[in-house]
Chains A and B, each alone.
Chain A
Amino acid sequence: MTKSYDVELHQIRKRFGSTTVVDNFNLQVERGECVTFLGPSGCGKTTTLNMLAGFLEPDEGTLIIKGKPMNGVPANKRDLGMVFQTYSLFPHMTVAENVAYGLKLRKVSKSEIETRVRKVLDVVKLPHLTDRYPKQLSGGQRQRIAIARALVTEPSLLLLDEPLSNLDAKLREELREEIKRLQQEIGVTTIFVTHDQEEAMYMSDRIVVLDHGKVEQIGTPEDIYQQPATAFVHEFVGKSNGFQAVITGGDEHHWRLKTTEGMTFSAKRNDRLYNSGDEVSVYVRPEYISLEKVGSMQETAEEAGVNSISGTVKLLSFLGSFIEVIVEAGSHIITVRTNYSPIISFAEGEPVKLSWNAYQANIFPRKEA
């Protein structure tokens, strides 16, 4: 116990009726860290946030904020800041009154309230809106005011419940940049809940990937993307080509496997051990697959540790910084992302060769379907 954490979850469990919505959740968040709960709807991320906020009580486990056990402490005694998906500004109060609400409850003097409200509105760059009512503001402005309202009390922990989901794409990017800047400047410990993986990667120091109430992986955005701990994480975060396969053999570096469609290739060995005949799932990210014209000068020779298959281009999509190519190889449909180049262009129907390094294929035990 040398390190002190701002948030500690110990074996948190929550059931609704007979369904376990959060199962054995353990997490330590350091001061100033931004941790994201990422997962599909129903994964337990919002339930956990609500338990942190004090809107729900965990059935089991301990919840500690700034060293103080919070089990049984009501929301209004936890000294937190929270931003909601639906903004949740008080419609009958002006912007200034909304922001001042928490300060008034803390019996801060009138003059200090005024100073702090002005200061925080400057921070969110909306100092001119003090006397407006929420319905006179745009969605982006409302959410900035909601952030100001959450920050003005200098909470020990900031909770963000999908704060960007109701905004359009352009605004969402703008605001997430701003939230990140504020979060780092102020250094407030932050828990961010989202189902949007890009948002999660952008915002977080660490990401907690959840599925069906279970923590699948906790790690930096890079870890989560490059070293997914489970098949679920690989599928949920980023794009993946997934193959169902059976282990046929292997050496000290690679596993040999055969897909259900009959293709054979190798994948890097990791800590897990398999026996011949084990059913596995293999994933390769689209950007790690290289695409070549058949019979081109640069066509690489077969080498150890490189998988290659041939196929036909089915669909090309230009997406700005890269092109997405859908290739049909036997009965596999494989997605490839490759940098856009005006020199090498592919045509739909053209035969191509796909190749990827064995170490870029991740292998997991087959999920029980």
Chain B
Amino acid sequence: MPQLKRSKGLIAMLLLVPGLIIILGVFVLPMIYMLMISLREDMGRGAWTLVSYAHLFQDSYYLEILWRTVKLSLYTVVVCLLLGYPVAMYMAQAAPKMRGLITFLILSPHLISVVIRNFGWVVILGDDGFINNTLMSLGIISGPLRLLYNELGVVIGLTDSLIVYMVLAISTSLYAIDSSLYKAAGILGASRTKQFFSITLPLSLPGIFAGTTLVFSLAMSSFVTPALMGGTSVKVLPVLAYEQMMASLDWSLGAAIAFLLLGSTILLVTIFTRLVETKRYKEVFSS
């Protein structure tokens, strides 16, 4: 019997090896290399130095961009949450067929390359785009609204690509709520609104938490959408890191920016996790 257990464990280990090699080779090693580049002169081979990090923290320009990156990511989370929650609620109580259809619909933008999708937004949101033309021809506005190449454009683009994570995470946790709880709350005197705030919302917290963490992390690190929808005026950290490496050829500073981004994302997600995972949350939702 112990023999069998050991050989089972061995097989499990062996099955993990290919995956581990890939993660090690294409993720962990490059990360270590990048860290070296940010911390040592001469592309990670020379003397140890903190000069790139000092540069980041001394120049308020970089911290401003960090703040903008965080802010835009938070906006995106809030918009995804407000727009995604009703969709998730509808999905959770829809028939299986309808649920499949909605999942397909909210996933369908991802069937197109992110670049093409963003150019689609340019056509819709541009000064001479669909929305401005319509509003102007209806006489509601006299000149075009600025919907693109500003923070609004970035949030629209990010919401479009990330809302799917929010909807799926929330609908999963809504789906797990026993529907007899609503009956119980109703018979005890709770109106629909009261039922939502006292039952639905608190019991969907794990979904909100998962969706928020996913959308926030992905928004913090997204590159294509801010680059295309924000233009040169709305710079975010990933775009800045790219510019330092590819345009200024300052790999050390670029790598330091990348780690600033990683560090702040981890820090903020950790703080958020701490805030959400109260004693009650753990008691109720841990299995």
Q: Are B280 and A86 in contact (CB under 8 A)?
A: no
- Asked if A67 is at the interface (CB within 8 A of a chain B CB), the reply is no
- Asked if A133 is at the interface (CB within 8 A of a chain B CB), the reply is yes
Known: A76-B191, A105-B194, A133-B283. A90 touches B199 (CB 8 A): yes
Q: Which residues of A contact B56 (CB under 8 A)?
A: none
Q: A97-113 interface mask toward B, CB cutoff 8 Å, 1 = contact, 0 = none?
A: 00001100110000000
Least CB distance, B5 to chain A, in whole angstroms: 32
Q: Are B283 and A76 in contact (CB under 8 A)?
A: no
Q: Which residues of B contact A53 (CB under 8 A)?
A: 183, 187
- CA–CA, A311 to B188, complex, Å? 59
Q: Which residues of B contact A209 (CB under 8 A)?
A: none
Known: A133-B283, A133-B284. A88 touches B181 (CB 8 A): yes
Known: A105-B194, A133-B283, A133-B284. A90 touches B189 (CB 8 A): no
- Asked if A55 is at the interface (CB within 8 A of a chain B CB), the reply is yes
Q: Which residues of B contact A149 (CB under 8 A)?
A: 184, 188
Q: B250-287 interface mask toward A, CB cutoff 8 Å, 1 = contact, 0 = none?
A: 00000000000000000000000000000010011000
Q: Are B202 and A92 in contact (CB under 8 A)?
A: yes
- CA–CA, A102 to B190, complex, Å? 8
- CA–CA, A139 to B199, complex, Å? 21
- Asked if A91 is at the interface (CB within 8 A of a chain B CB), the reply is yes
- CA–CA, A82 to B187, complex, Å? 7
- Asked if A84 is at the interface (CB within 8 A of a chain B CB), the reply is yes
Q: Are A91 and B284 in contact (CB under 8 A)?
A: yes
Q: B159-187 interface mask toward A, CB cutoff 8 Å, 1 = contact, 0 = none?
A: 00000000000000000001011011111
Q: Are B180 and A55 in contact (CB under 8 A)?
A: no
Query: Chain B interface: which size bin?
Result: 20 to 34
Q: Which residues of A contact B280 (CB under 8 A)?
A: 92
Q: Are B184 and A84 in contact (CB under 8 A)?
A: yes
Q: 8 Å CB contacts to A: which residues of B194-210?
A: 194, 198-199, 202-203
Q: Are A88 and B178 in contact (CB under 8 A)?
A: yes
Query: Chain A interface: which size bin?
Result: 20 to 34
Q: Which residues of B contact A106 (CB under 8 A)?
A: 189
- CA–CA, A84 to B283, complex, Å? 24
- CA–CA, A53 to B184, complex, Å? 10
Least CB distance, B236 to chain A, in whole angstroms: 37
Least CB distance, B204 to chain A, in whole angstroms: 10
Query: Which chain B residue lies CB-closest to A80?
Result: B187
- CA–CA, A82 to B188, complex, Å? 8
- Asked if A78 is at the interface (CB within 8 A of a chain B CB), the reply is yes
Q: A193-207 interface mask toward B, CB cutoff 8 Å, 1 = contact, 0 = none?
A: 000000000000000
Q: Are A102 and B284 in contact (CB under 8 A)?
A: no
- Asked if A153 is at the interface (CB within 8 A of a chain B CB), the reply is yes
Query: Which chain A residue lies CB-closest to B199?
Result: A90
Q: Are B187 and A81 in contact (CB under 8 A)?
A: yes
Q: B62-96 interface mask toward A, CB cutoff 8 Å, 1 = contact, 0 = none?
A: 00000000000000000000000000000000000
- Asked if A129 is at the interface (CB within 8 A of a chain B CB), the reply is no
- Asked if A75 is at the interface (CB within 8 A of a chain B CB), the reply is yes
Known: A76-B191, A105-B194, A133-B284. A90 touches B186 (CB 8 A): no
- CA–CA, A86 to B179, complex, Å? 11
Which of A54, A75, A86, A101 is in CB contact (< 8 Å) with B178? A86
Query: Which chain B residue lies CB-closest to A78?
Result: B187
- Asked if A42 is at the interface (CB within 8 A of a chain B CB), the reply is no
Query: Which chain B residue lies CB-closest to A85?
Result: B180
Known: A105-B194, A133-B283, A133-B284. A90 touches B181 (CB 8 A): yes
Q: Are B186 and A88 in contact (CB under 8 A)?
A: no
Least CB distance, B15 to chain A, in whole angstroms: 34
Q: Which residues of A contact B284 (CB under 8 A)?
A: 91-92, 133, 135
Q: Which residues of B contact A88 (CB under 8 A)?
A: 178, 180-181, 183-184
Least CB distance, A217 to chain B, in whole angstroms: 29
Known: A84-B180, A133-B283, A133-B284. A90 touches B185 (CB 8 A): yes
Q: Which residues of A contact B187 (CB under 8 A)?
A: 53-54, 75-76, 78, 80-82, 159
Least CB distance, B185 to chain A, in whole angstroms: 7
Query: Which chain B residue lies CB-closest to A149?
Result: B188
List 7 A-B pairs, minimum CB-CB distance, nearest first. A102-B188, A75-B186, A88-B184, A105-B189, A88-B180, A82-B187, A92-B284
What would 26 A/B residue contacts be, using CB atoms closer than 8 Å? A53-B183, A55-B183, A75-B187, A76-B188, A76-B189, A76-B190, A76-B191, A78-B187, A79-B189, A80-B187, A82-B183, A84-B180, A84-B184, A86-B180, A89-B184, A90-B181, A90-B184, A92-B202, A92-B203, A101-B190, A102-B189, A105-B188, A105-B194, A135-B284, A149-B184, A159-B187
B residues lining the A interface (CB < 8 Å): 178, 180-181, 183-191, 194, 198-199, 202-203, 280, 283-284
Known pairs A91-B203, A92-B202, A102-B189 / 8 extra A-B pairs, C-beta < 8 Å = A74-B186, A75-B187, A76-B186, A76-B191, A84-B184, A86-B180, A88-B180, A92-B284
